């Protein structure tokens, strides 16, 4: 009987799971890893970004239901499970000065209170590894920043039986990573490859698409080779039809160039309770059988892993 590893990816909105780490998840699913996406909000305040669907009154009036259906299709394509945490999208405030966030939205919740449903989900699913966003959210969307906050709080609390005692039996994930797939090194490499091939127009479009993610350099610790699943990632992205234009900048780098020049998805190891060596090529580095048996003081050990 084979022991099964489990991965939980915590995201802010439907479509985030397909733009950040999707090929990694699809790869792990193909190897027998159990993968669960935790989606914090329903994306209710998201705009229709695909110009082909803008102006559709029915879609705009039913955006919450539409985005849930898109999410269901994307998860089926990736082969992952998915759970909603039930918070309300905060929207992305714009203007000078910035308008206040809507009352009751996710970003205005108390962190300790908002972490409880994620702690409960962690204790139910019992992931060995989690992924989330860095402290600036990858980019400064208030829901992404809040996702970081509750993910880190839940990672710390889930293994402590004294915290959230009504949320189930304690379970301690052993590693948590920040998604860094949309990093400047990747953008520069792909942009250079387009220019080398004389594809200047595509290069300019690619830079425009990646502009929101180009203002920070982060430490990249983990490089997961997953180019065989880039096509699956792209199919999952286009399942979010209200958000993603299949003819837009996200897809301006031809797949064969992407696979040749940058065949990995990147992560920043935020915390590990097991020994590992950097750089890594596997989110489960240090957790492959035989499983570690060194307990973490005051926390639940994963030395006994449930057989799938």
pLDDT along the chain (308 residues), means of 10: 83 97 98 97 92 92 95 98 97 86 97 98 98 93 97 98 97 98 93 95 91 83 98 97 92 95 98 95 87 38 32
Q: What is the Cα 18 distance to its own chain's centre?
A: 8
240 carries a ligand binding annotation = no
CA-closest candidate to residue 18, choices 80, 85, 84, 63: 80
| Paired strand residues for 34 | 6
Does the annotation flag 144 for ligand binding? yes
Is position 13 annotated in a ligand binding site?
yes
| CA–CA distances in Å: residue 119 to residues 58, 122, 152, 170 | 36, 5, 10, 9
CATH topology of domain 6-181+223-247+263-272: Rossmann fold (3.40.50)
Fill in the DSSP letter of residue 88.
P
CA atoms of 184 and 190, how far apart (whole Å): 10
**Phi, psi (5° rounding) for residue 16?**
-60, -35
pTM: 0.91
Exposure on the CB side of residue 125, measured as CA atoms within 13 A: 28
**Strand residue runs (E) in 144-220:** 175-179
Q: What gap in Å lies between CA 3 and CA 23, rounded to an integer?
A: 23
How confident is the model at residue 98, as a pLDDT? 83
What are the structural domain ranges in the chain? 6-181+223-247+263-272
């Amino acid at each position: 009987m084979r022991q099964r590893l489990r991965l939980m990816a915590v995201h802010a909105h439907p479509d985030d799971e397909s733009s950040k780490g999707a090929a990694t998840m699809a790869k792990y699913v193909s190897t027998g890893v159990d993968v669960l996406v935790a989606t914090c909000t329903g994306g209710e305040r998201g705009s229709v970004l695909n110009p082909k669907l803008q102006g559709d009154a029915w879609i705009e009036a039913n955006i919450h239901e539409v985005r849930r259906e898109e999410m269901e299709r994307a998860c089926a394509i990736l082969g992952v499970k998915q759970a909603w945490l039930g918070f309300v999208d905060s929207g992305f405030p714009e203007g000078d000065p910035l308008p206040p966030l809507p009352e009751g939205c996710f970003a205005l919740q108390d962190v300790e209170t908002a972490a409880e449903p994620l702690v409960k989900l962690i204790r139910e699913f019992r992931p060995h590894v989690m992924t989330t966003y860095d402290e600036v959210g990858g980019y400064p969307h208030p829901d992404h920043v809040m996702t970081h906050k509750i993910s880190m709080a839940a990672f710390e609390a889930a293994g402590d039986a004294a915290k959230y005692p009504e949320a189930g039996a304690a379970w301690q994930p052993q590693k948590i990573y920040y998604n860094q797939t949309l990093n400047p090194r990747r953008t520069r490499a792909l942009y250079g490859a387009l220019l080398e091939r004389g594809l200047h127009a595509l290069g300019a479009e690619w830079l425009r698409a990646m502009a929101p993610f180009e203002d920070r350099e982060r430490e990249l610790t983990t490089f997961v080779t997953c180019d065989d699943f880039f096509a699956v990632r792209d199919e999952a992205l286009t399942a979010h039809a209200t958000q993603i234009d299949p003819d837009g900048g996200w897809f301006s780098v031809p797949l064969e160039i992407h696979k040749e020049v940058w065949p990995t998805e990147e992560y920043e190891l935020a915390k590990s309770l097991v020994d590992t060596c950097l750089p890594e090529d596997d989110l489960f580095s240090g957790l492959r059988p035989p499983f570690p048996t060194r307990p973490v003081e005051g926390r639940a050990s994963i030395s006994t892993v449930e057989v799938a």
